[in-house]
Amino acid sequence: MDGYTYLHLGETVDPDRYVICKYRVTSKLPIEKAADAIAAEQSTGTWTGISTLDPEIIGRLGARVTDISGDVITVGFPVEDFSVEVGSVPQILSVIAGNLFGLGALDGVRLEDVVFPREITSQFKGPKFGAEGIRRMLDRPEKPLVGTIVKPKIGLSPERTAQYVYEAGSGGLTNSKDDETLVDQAFCPIEDRTVMVSEVLDRLEEEGHRMIHAINVSARTDRIVELAERVQSWGARQIMVDVITCGFSAVQALAEDPSIKVPIHVHRTMHGAITKNPLHGVAMLPFTKLVRMCGGDALHIGTLGAGKMSADVHEDSNLGACLGDDVPYRGMMPVCSGGVYPGVVGAIVERSGFNVQIQAGGGVAGHPDGVRGGAMAMCQAVDAAYEGVPVQEYAETHRELRLALEKWGLK
């Protein structure tokens, strides 16, 4: 490429001075040449020799390929390659997930994982509330959280949305949320919806049940904090943002603004356009790490192979990225959603453990007894998993769960 090699195989780089990435590479080139091309493109190299490049620049700022294992390469980027601006995800992504995807010599490149040094993690504040903060709000210290998504995605009026939330809470659910496509449409204005949902949450609390609902504030980045402030003033207990469509900086702006005093539920809509191809794009794992760094309090991570969405091989790793203590932040609540119904709850909990939020849309609204019956069935499935009782045995004495298993079966 430019006459200089970026291969330093077998070399150990200082993890406090480098951002370390793993890429899966598909190429007709020898893997060493493909790795060299990636490291060069994303740091100091270009397609030809240039007069403005000298060995000192390459030695100090050039990326270093330290390992090649099969089709996976490990690349270290010097921390000096990254902006001194506090918490700049756009610039981070431009380095670790930039032009390399368009290199003509490569058939496919996928960023599988990234590990950031303290010099970068310290630029971010992480979640304000995190998993434990959400649990405190709900007074639910141990059991999995169990929630729903208002269905249909769009079409219900504010009154019907609020009634759905009330029925779900009356059935025992701890959480509910807007779906990703609903923000402020004419048929369901966000102010009316937020006020009416808040009123039913107050009613539920008066009846002895705590529940929170996430209002979707996904909007232009320059207006999202203002919208969140208004939603909060109308009584919202939680807000939601679509991180891929709005951007990581939108999550960060909400999390770091002192006026925002409610947890942030992060949806990953559109992620499949980037994460689904196992040989190209970006795995969900780096995105999970970035969302936690930016301050997301809860994040969708899929259903661990149990629901309708394609399973990512890294879904279990995403659990660790949400809750692990290898970064200086509060844990982020992992949310399992996407084709969930009572019969898959046990399979999810077996892989996730109890520190998880399990939520169902159609798996609640589609119950033979309606939303309240669907909520009860989901809660019963969670209780069975928590108590270690086989779900079919638990269903023998719990009608709503039995009806759900009869309709949808068991994973």
From the CB of residue 10, how many other CB atoms can be counted at a distance below 10 Å?
A: 7
Q: Where in the sequence of the chain do the CATH 3.20.20.110 domains occur?
A: 130-408
Q: What's the rounded Cα separation, in Å, for the pair 341 and 162?
A: 22
- Confidence at residue 4, expressed as pLDDT on a 0 to 100 scale: 79
For the chain, how many helices (H) and strands (E)?
18, 13
CATH number of 130-408: 3.20.20.110
**pLDDT tens-digit readout, 212-247:** 999 999 999 999 999 999 999 999 999 999 999 999
- Confidence at residue 84, expressed as pLDDT on a 0 to 100 scale: 82
Burial code (b: 16+ CB inside 10 Å, e: under 16) for 106-143 equals bebbbbbbbbbbeebbebbbbbbbbbebbbebbeeeeb
The stretches in the chain having pLDDT less than 50 are: 1, 310
Q: Where in the sequence of the chain do the CATH 3.30.70.150 domains occur?
A: 18-121
Single out the catalytic residue among 143, 265, 267, 367: 267
Q: What's the rounded Cα separation, in Å, for the pair 78 and 57?
A: 12
Burial code (b: 16+ CB inside 10 Å, e: under 16) for 255-291 equals bbbeebebbbbbbbbebeebbeeeebbbbbbbbbbbb
CATH number of 18-121: 3.30.70.150
Q: What's the rounded Cα separation, in Å, for the pair 107 and 344?
A: 37
DSSP string, 135-189: HHHHT-SSSPEEEEE-SSSS---HHHHHHHHHHHHHTT-SEEE--TT-SS-TTS-
Enumerate residues 6+ apart whose C-beta is below 8 A from 264: 127, 128, 238, 239, 240, 241, 251, 254, 255, 295, 296, 297, 298
Q: What's the rounded Cα separation, in Å, for the pair 368 and 192?
A: 29
Q: What's the rounded Cα separation, in Å, for the pair 204 and 359?
A: 19
Q: How many residues does the chain have?
A: 411
Q: Is 267 a catalytic residue?
A: yes
Q: What's the rounded Cα separation, in Å, for the pair 195 and 233?
A: 9
Enumerate residues 6+ apart whose C-beta is below 8 A from 123: 86, 87, 88
- Confidence at residue 316, expressed as pLDDT on a 0 to 100 scale: 83
- Confidence at residue 1, expressed as pLDDT on a 0 to 100 scale: 46
Structure tokens at 31: 């893997």
Tell me phi and psi for residue 90, to 5 degrees. Answer: -55, -45
Give the DSSP letter of residue 276.
Answer: S
**pLDDT tens-digit readout, 358-384:** 999 999 999 999 999 999 999 999 999
As beta bridge partners, residue 305 has none
Single out the catalytic residue among 151, 177, 265, 367: 151
